[in-house]
Amino acid sequence: MSIDSVVVQFITCPESRGKLGPFCSTYFGKEADCCPFCRTVAIPSCLTIAKQVVNSMCRIVPSARRSKRCGCPVIPLYLQWEGHSVTIIGVEESKIGLPLNLLVLDPLQRSATTRGAILRQRLTPLRLALQPLSRKDCQVVLASPRDLSPLDSEQRKHALAFTVEQQAVRRALEIRTR
């Protein structure tokens, strides 16, 4: 469909799975010094965005010391685990800036409940705790607003994937196969 997207995997081991919260927090944080859209005139590819978010995760600081936020648009992320998918629209952080919950639109949640919660500014039905997800293999689909050329679309017949903490995942797989 000519959508520039990448699957970002948080799989196999705690080092990789534990990065889901920081990844989403960095992505939705929109800090001007690490926003992939602020850094360039051209719209970056989804893979570039994913790599910049992962590289920026190392610099997470408490919210009181964060840099200025930018006004660039944020495209929702799509999270899947064990056959269930939700749309991530934000992150709820603790007072010191650590991610606690993902804010999601869940197709299993009644739309009237979700709409009512948003209108009343109640986050409870939108919360998805990160703690249980840290024990599951998860994939996030990250899309960019960049259009793919017909040639790029043809070359991308299969999903483009990026594994977070790939070295740790390889080590964990080697240990399991011994």
How confident is the model over 20-29, as a mean pLDDT? 89
Any idea what the Cα angle at residue 39 is, between residues 147 and 68, rounded to 5°?
A: 120
> How far apart, in whole angstroms, are the C-alpha atoms of residue 102 and residue 89?
8
pTM of the model: 0.82
Tell me what pLDDT residue 83 has. 84
Which pair of tokens denotes residue 82? 């064990």
- Which of 16-20, 31-35, 116-120, 160-164 bottoms out in mean pLDDT, i.e. has the lowest? 31-35
Among 88-102, 113-127, 142-156, the range with the most confident prediction by mean pLDDT is: 88-102
Q: Kindly tell me if the per-residue pLDDT of 71 is higher than 90.
A: no
